[in-house]
Amino acid sequence: DEERMGEGEEKMEEVLKTLPMEKLPEGIHLSFYEGHWYRSTFMHGIIPFQQHFKAQDTDLILVTFPKSGTTWLKALAFTIANRNNYPVSESPLLTTNPHSLVYFLDFEIYGKSPILKLEDLPSPRVLATHMPHSALPTSIKDSNCRVVYLCRNPLDMFISYRHFVAKFSNKPFDPSLIEESFDMFCRGVSSYGPFWDHVLEYWKASQERQNKVLFLKYEDMKEDPISHLKVLAKFMGLPFSVEEESQGVIEEVLKLCSFDNLKDLEVNTNETNRNGHPYSMFFRKAEVGDWANYLTPSMLERMNKLMEEKFAGSGLNF
């Protein structure tokens, strides 16, 4: 088996060499594969995930474009799914980062050194990915599993990513790189980009399969978290009961998963993940509109034009 895996790796290296590549100004390599840009190092997980993942009808798959609120969504969905296993006061979230409770399929469960075996997960499985809809393994689309998509205003997400990359590269945030990375983002060259295709594909899927694909926006969730938590729980097939509502369970879940609560926990201030990256890199400001501190009026204009053009007629806007 090991020999066969070795052969597979060699083939993979051959395939990777043939893909067009770009380098973000922060030093991250991206490879262009079947219409989308991926972190080159993630290709080792992306292809096996596409080829081998078998979705179960009970699976819940959380999907985001990076820096759109994945950490929050993971915390909320995990808590909803497990609320009968642990009282909120004993939630694993109090001692474990959300990313170590809900793993990414495309680079943690598949990939060079898989973090765990899918068979070891209890049902219903809560899983995550950043993959575009058109690139998902067919079994996700063919099965009855549920998909939750969370998106965010691209300007805030873009700035959030810049800070994130600096943190995990152990470098200070460098605003002089913004101009070039913004240009690349607008040309579609960003991790899991083009952004527009990503959002539009899930938007359409959510309209075509309303019971199977839920489309959420970070800004809407921040504005009205209670109704969105109810929508999420109902979509997951685990609606809050009248009794739970009157006992304040919804508020309790929201408080547990809130940015202010999670970011100050010992695990999220002082601990690192298995790659030695601090969990604190997932918590920064969690504000709407922080982009205004970084982007110029002409950048805003370029993005607005692009959004108008790309989302024209879709009913989607930011």
What is the contact surface with ligand A3P in residues (CB under 6 A)? 64, 66-72, 75, 156, 160, 163, 257-259, 262, 282-286, 290
Annotated catalytic residue, options 99, 130, 198, 228: 130
Q: Residue 73 half-sphere exposure, CB side, CA atoms within 13 Å?
A: 35
Stated length of the chain: 318
Nearer to ligand A3P by C-beta: 82 or 258? 258
Closer CB to ligand A3P, 16 or 219, in the complex: 219
Of 167 and 209, nearer to ligand A3P (C-beta) is 167
Phi/psi for 38 (5° steps) reads -130, 150
Query: CB count, 10 Å around CB of 206?
Result: 18
Residues whose CB falls within 8 Å of the CB of residue 199, separated by 6 or more in sequence, listed in order: 65, 151, 311, 316
**Residue 262 beta carbon to ligand A3P: minimum distance, rounded to whole angstroms:** 5
Rounded (5°) CA angle 101-103-108: 135
Residue type, 121: L
Q: Quote the least distance from Cβ 17 to ligand A3P, whole Å.
A: 30
Note if 44 is an active site residue: no
For residue 14, what are its two tokens? 């051959």
Minimum distance of ligand A3P from residue 97's CB (angstroms): 10
Which residue's CB is nearer to ligand A3P, number 182 or number 283? 283
The least distance separating ligand A3P from the CB of residue 281, rounded to whole angstroms, comes to 8
- Please identify every residue annotated as catalytic: 130
